[in-house]
């Protein structure tokens, strides 16, 4: 029996139609098989453009064979002299997911080649042991001493170990001075390395006696990034010590130090370790870079150098780097690494280096001995063998300038750089990164007026999370609260803090406090004996949030039973700040230019953060002094910005396009007589700089002999009033060196003010960390000609009366008189009209 859905009549009609169609095709000479080919042809026509598009995107080239043993690098021992002070490095940011970029990489070494390299390395004559001293006086917070106060205080410091150091022995030499009131049998000092104790000594010195104790550190504890913690237990009573007693103190002195004995190891060169060995973010000494000058310096080469240098500033952050340009390799020093940017024709040294790619007649050949396309970039790591040392070399090249530029751009785009590996890379295609919003800055407050603490960025890809502190005198929780340049936080802005605290607190003496920088915004008593979650709101005063502000949450935690002593009583006291805390802002954006104070955070050059609206200008034949300032400024721009890419451009004066001059922020670098944009030296009402050391301000004119000051001067661009023209100049090379010191040193750079900053050294070779080494003068005589306002109507009205407050009393007097006059006119008009009627 047939199912209900089966219809025999319909099936018969369908078969008859198929037979008629087949008969017609046969009569017209078309084979029946052609019917089956129609979908195939259509599919081929559809896939052909897709395949062509894929062929345009996917580009592969034959590669040379990888060397049996990759080149290796062994650094020179560190200089015996102690390095200048610097801050400890922060934790490295986690890597981001790589974007869709198309790279062809040389094969990495095989397991057999690795074994051969390891065997060869073990047969080498070991390097003699070297010693390095890391003194505590390099920490800016050290000053004359670090003071430990309270019953259980702790001081923490970060320190690093270069990647290729094999530590043989290490010790911490702690020099301290203590209070005479401490009980020796109950007070002690403990040192921990990476949360592992390495020793404890009693605090049994007499008043004024200096203690000097050495703690041996197991070499296995020393990692590339480390922390030393110095913990004290300080007791003045046999029964119970009052934690607020002022005699509870121990001072760690700046002569304390860490002493390494180490050997340098050989490390294969591989882009998976980049930026090592060109720079080492764990190097305790300043990294040193030398750029090889090409045969003909061009704007394209300068652009590549500025972007590469800016990326080094981002990678190293506040760690110092010394960069310069050299004319030949004989000028290299023992601690410098070499960077060669340019085509084989512009950099003849490439023909003399051992490279995985063959060079022939100024062209780079692939594995089939064919020249690579001009737009393909090539990156290579190699070494330069000298009689007494080995220098690592980074090569970014191509058969044309476009290829070299693409190679450098791959290195400066953080997401792309992560997929690099091997000794050499050909950059076939590179993704173009879109520019960010000019008001979207990592590390600053979000653009939104309402946001949570979880939206505050601490570093790249790291946000604020719930944070807990313990103890009766815990350190304040520091939260970055940096306003965007020009943001004006108005009255009515609030911060609502969500927090939790433990149940063992004394509600009468325990509290939580919220402060912005050194201004206390509000406090609340922890009133519940059982603890719990609470919220309270504080108001933000007008215009107090700066681009470098920090929010501090301090817990004052006292135990419920004051007679209970010991570490157990301390650790049961805790408070937590939750990331759900939120901020509600009322803000306007008011930016007055020129203002060098804004330059400290990069504004307006760093809006957007990829520097796509900024161009550097150098004289047609820059001197070494001008080039050094150019390198320092490029590094500083990278240090104060964060983005996925860098689009900074640099031009020789002769190559500066009119469109760039009219649309971008300009930074001119050069000695005063050679400055590419002399318009920056003349300001109506401000300081005017002329040739022959002539200075003029208003009607006053002077000539200084000699004029050795460095000058940082900002004016509105004469070609676009919405852009800035910045001049880094001096009358002589000595002044340029002072400008370079200002750019390299954070303390000096943080003193930029007004529209003009003058800097000169007080000593022939000053220590940049010596406050008496330099004199800085800030001038603010030029009118702030341009005010950029982004505010509501009421906000603009309030700002108008704030800037013109003298109009208020005049208006109070004139307004009643005007109203009286209008009323009389109206009454007379009514009276006259009534008479006529």
Same topology between domain 72-124+266-429 and domain 130-264? no
CATH superfamily of 72-124+266-429: Chitobiase/beta-hexosaminidase domain 2-like (3.30.379.10)
Q: What Å distances lie between residue 792 and 593, 789, 799, CA to CA? A: 21, 9, 10
**DSSP state string for 781-819:** -S---EEEEE--HHHHHHHHHHHTTTHHHHHHHHHHHHH
d(CA 807, CA 294): 63
**Contacts of 615 by beta carbon, 8 Å cutoff, 6+ apart:** 648, 649, 650, 651, 656, 660, 664, 665, 666, 667
Which of 566-575, 586-595, 671-680, 790-799 shows the lowest per-residue confidence on average (mean pLDDT)? 790-799
The domain defined by 130-264 folds into: Jelly Rolls (2.60.120)
Long-range contacts formed by 235-239: CB under 8 A, 24+ apart: 235/151, 235/182, 235/183, 235/186, 235/187, 236/181, 236/182, 236/183, 237/183, 238/183, 238/186, 239/565
Share of the chain above pLDDT 90, in %: 50
Peptide bond between residue 275 and the one before it cis (omega within 30 degrees of 0): yes
Is the pLDDT at 271 greater than 90, yes or no?
Answer: yes
pLDDT in tens, 315-354: 998 888 999 999 999 999 988 999 999 999 999 999 999 9
Confidence of residue 803 (pLDDT cuts 50, 70, 90): low
Query: Mean pLDDT score of the chain, rounded to an integer?
Result: 82
- Quote the pLDDT of residue 630: 98
Displacement of CA 756 from its chain's centroid (Å)? 25
Q: What is the pTM of this model?
A: 0.80
Structure tokens at 236: 């003045």
CA-CA-CA-CA dihedral for 538, 543, 548, 554, to nearest 10: -20
pLDDT, mean of residues 203-229: 91
d(CA 719, CA 659): 10
Confidence of residue 242 (pLDDT cuts 50, 70, 90): confident
Confidence of residue 308 (pLDDT cuts 50, 70, 90): very high
Structure tokens at 397: 């090249």
Q: Which is more confidently placed, 403 or 150?
A: 403
The structural domains of the chain, with segments of one domain joined by +, span 24-57, 72-124+266-429, 130-264, 450-590, 595-623+637-783, 793-836
Q: Which is more confidently placed, 365 or 45?
A: 365
Check if the beta carbon of residue 636 is closer than 8 Å to that of residue 313: yes
- Three-class secondary structure of residue 610 per DSSP: coil
Check if the beta carbon of residue 559 is closer than 8 Å to that of residue 565: no
Look-up of token digits 């000494």: 285
Element (H, E) at 251: strand 249-252
Is the pLDDT at 203 greater than 90, yes or no?
Answer: yes
CATH of domain 450-590: 2.60.120.260
Q: How many CA atoms lie within 13 A of 84 on its CB side?
A: 13
Look-up of token digits 């294969």: 268
Structure tokens at 665: 């922020």
d(CA 221, CA 172): 13
d(CA 570, CA 168): 38
- Quote the pLDDT of residue 806: 63
pLDDT, mean of residues 64-70: 65
Q: What single-letter DSSP state applies at residue 559?
A: B
Confidence of residue 28 (pLDDT cuts 50, 70, 90): very low
Confidence of residue 531 (pLDDT cuts 50, 70, 90): confident
- Three-class secondary structure of residue 331 per DSSP: helix
Listed ranges 81-90, 774-783, 791-800; the one with the highest mean pLDDT? 774-783
Is the pLDDT at 408 greater than 70, yes or no?
Answer: yes
- Quote the pLDDT of residue 560: 79
Give the residue ranges of DSSP H helices in 76-163: 111-123
- Quote the pLDDT of residue 33: 40
pLDDT in tens, 675-724: 999 988 887 767 777 776 777 777 777 877 777 889 999 999 999 988 99
pLDDT, mean of residues 724-748: 93
Q: Which is more confidently placed, 107 or 652?
A: 652
Confidence of residue 800 (pLDDT cuts 50, 70, 90): low
Look-up of token digits 């062929």: 55
Confidence of residue 103 (pLDDT cuts 50, 70, 90): very low
Confidence of residue 274 (pLDDT cuts 50, 70, 90): very high
- Quote the pLDDT of residue 94: 37
Q: How far apart are the first and last CA of the chain?
A: 109
- Quote the pLDDT of residue 10: 56
pLDDT in tens, 440-478: 888 889 988 899 999 998 766 678 999 999 887 788 999
């Amino acid at each position: 029996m047939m199912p209900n859905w089966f219809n025999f009549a319909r099936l018969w009609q369908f078969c008859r139609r198929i037979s008629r169609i087949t008969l017609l095709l046969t009569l017209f000479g078309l084979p029946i098989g052609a019917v089956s080919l129609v979908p195939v042809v259509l599919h081929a026509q559809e896939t052909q453009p897709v395949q062509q598009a894929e062929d345009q995107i996917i580009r592969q080239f034959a590669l040379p064979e990888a060397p049996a043993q990759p080149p290796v690098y062994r650094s020179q021992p560190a200089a015996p002299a102690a390095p200048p002070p610097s801050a400890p490095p922060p934790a490295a940011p986690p890597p981001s997911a790589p974007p869709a970029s198309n790279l062809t990489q040389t094969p990495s070494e095989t397991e057999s080649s690795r074994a051969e390299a390891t065997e060869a390395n073990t047969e080498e004559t070991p390097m003699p042991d070297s010693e390095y001293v890391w003194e505590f006086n390099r920490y800016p917070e050290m000053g004359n001493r670090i003071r430990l106060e309270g019953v259980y205080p702790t001081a923490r410091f970060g320190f690093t170990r270069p990647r290729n150091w094999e530590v043989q022995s290490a010790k911490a030499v702690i020099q301290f001075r203590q209070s005479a009131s401490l009980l020796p049998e109950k007070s002690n000092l403990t040192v921990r390395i990476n949360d592992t104790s390495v020793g404890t000594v009693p605090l049994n010195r007499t008043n004024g006696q200096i203690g000097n104790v050495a703690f041996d550190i197991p070499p296995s504890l020393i990692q590339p990034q480390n922390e030393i913690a110095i913990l004290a237990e300080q007791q003045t009573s046999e029964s119970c010590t009052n934690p607020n007693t002022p005699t509870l103190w121990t001072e760690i002195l700046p002569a304390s130090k860490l002493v390494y004995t180490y050997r340098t190891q050989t490390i294969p060169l591989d882009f998976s370790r980049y930026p090592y060995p060109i720079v080492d973010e764990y190097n305790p000494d300043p990294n040193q870079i030398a750029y090889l000058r090409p045969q003909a310096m061009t704007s394209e080469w300068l652009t590549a150098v500025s972007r590469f240098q800016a990326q080094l500033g981002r990678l190293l952050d506040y760690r110092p780097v010394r960069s310069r340009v050299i004319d030949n390799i004989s000028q290299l020093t023992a601690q410098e690494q070499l960077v060669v940017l340019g085509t084989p024709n512009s950099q003849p040294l490439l023909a003399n280096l051992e490279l995985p790619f063959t060079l022939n007649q100024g062209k780079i050949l692939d594995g089939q001995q064919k020249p690579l396309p001009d737009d393909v970039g090539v990156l290579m790591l190699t070494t330069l063998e000298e009689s007494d040392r080995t220098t690592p070399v980074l090569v970014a090249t191509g058969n044309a300038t476009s290829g070299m530029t693409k190679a450098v751009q791959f290195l400066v785009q953080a997401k792309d750089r992560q997929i690099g590996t091997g000794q050499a890379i050909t950059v076939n295609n590179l993704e173009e990164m879109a520019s960010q919003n000019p008001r979207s800055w990592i590390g600053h407050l979000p653009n939104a007026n309402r946001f949570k603490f979880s939206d505050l960025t601490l570093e790249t890809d790291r946000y604020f999370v719930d944070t807990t502190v313990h103890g009766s005198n815990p350190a304040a929780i520091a939260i970055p609260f940096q306003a965007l340049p020009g943001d004006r936080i108005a009255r009515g802005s609030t911060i609502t803090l969500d927090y939790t605290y433990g149940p063992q607190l004394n509600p009468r003496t325990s509290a939580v406090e919220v402060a912005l920088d050194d201004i206390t915004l509000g406090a609340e008593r922890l009133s519940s004996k059982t603890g719990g979650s609470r919220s309270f709101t504080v108001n933000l005063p007008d215009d107090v949030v700066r681009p470098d502000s920090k929010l501090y949450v301090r817990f004052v935690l006292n135990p419920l039973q004051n007679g209970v002593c010991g570490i157990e009583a301390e650790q049961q006291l805790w408070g937590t700040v939750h990331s759900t805390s939120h901020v509600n802002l009322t803000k306007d954006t008011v930016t007055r230019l020129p203002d060098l104070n804004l330059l400290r955070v990069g504004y307006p050059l760093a809006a957007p953060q990829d520097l796509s609206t900024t161009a550097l200008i150098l004289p047609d034949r820059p001197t070494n002094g001008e080039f050094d300032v150019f390198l320092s400024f490029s590094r500083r721009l990278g240090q104060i910005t964060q983005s996925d890419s860098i689009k900074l451009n640099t031009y020789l004066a002769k190559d500066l396009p009119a469109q760039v001059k009219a649309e971008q922020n300009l930074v001119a670098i050069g000695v005063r007589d050679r400055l590419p944009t002399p318009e920056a030296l003349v300001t109506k009402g401000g300081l005017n700089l002329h040739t022959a050391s002539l200075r003029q301000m208003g009607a006053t004119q002077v000539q200084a002999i000699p004029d050795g000051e460095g000058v940082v001067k900002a004016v509105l661009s004469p070609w676009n009033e919405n852009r800035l023209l910045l001049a880094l100049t001096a009358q002589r090379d000595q002044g340029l060196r002072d400008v370079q010191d200002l750019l390299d040193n954070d303390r000096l750079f943080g003193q930029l003010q007004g529209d003009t900053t003058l800097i000169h050294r007080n000593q022939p070779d000053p220590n940049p960390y010596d406050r008496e080494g330099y004199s800085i003068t800030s001038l603010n005589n030029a009118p702030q000609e341009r005010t950029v306002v982004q505010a509501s109507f009421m906000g603009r009205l309030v700002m108008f009366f704030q800037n013109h407050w003298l109009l208020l009393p005049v208006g109070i007097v004139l307004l009643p008189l005007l109203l009286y006059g209008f009323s009389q006119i109206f009454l007379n008009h009514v009276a006259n009209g009534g008479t006529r009627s």
